[in-house]
Amino acid sequence: MLKTALVLAAETEHVNPIIPDISELIIGIIAFLILLFILWKYVVPRFETAYEERAQKIEGGIEKAEKAQAEAEEALAEYKAQLTEARSEAAKIRDDARLEAEQIKAELRAEAESESQRIVAQGQAQLQAQKAQIIAELRADMGRNAVELASRIVGESLEDEVRRRGTVDRFLSELETATNGAGK
């Protein structure tokens, strides 16, 4: 026992607690190499595959985002072009409407003026007709009065129609020359 204890003590004296035993070191290195092999053979390819898939998804998402942004910019440009076109078309429609309104106004003015001239001409024609009628009536009245007055003055009867008309016409002619001479 004493001998075993001495062997143990001698062995413990030579064993450094910092430096591991060679057999443990060899077993640890072999276990580490096996673990490294298993990781390299099975785990790393799975990580690589997952990394590639994730990278592709990200790239696909970026491509989709860029494509969507390009489509949005294209739609915005198209919208702006349509808006510009609509504004110019609206301005053209406004200008056309103003021009048409001016034409309609001018046409209505011309129609109103021609209607006014027609009414004035019609009124003047009616006045001329009424004037002629009044003059004819006055001539007839004056003729009767003149014949009546002349027959009273002369004392003879001027009943004869031909004589009466001649006398009336002569009297009216003298009256017109007298009024024209006085008016001049």
Secondary structure of 118-137 as H, E, C letters:
HHHHHHHHHHHHHHHHHHHH
Neighbours of 147 (CB within 10 A): 19
Q: Average pLDDT of 83-101?
A: 93
Residue 80 pLDDT > 90, yes or no? yes
Query: What pLDDT score does 135 carry?
Result: 79
pTM of the model: 0.37
Asked whether the CA dihedral 117, 122, 123, 124 is positive or negative, the reply is: positive
Q: Considering only 49-58, 88-97, 109-118, 141-150, which range has the smallest mean pLDDT?
A: 141-150
Return the closest-CA partner of residue 51 out of 43, 62, 39, 40: 43
Query: What pLDDT score does 163 carry?
Result: 65
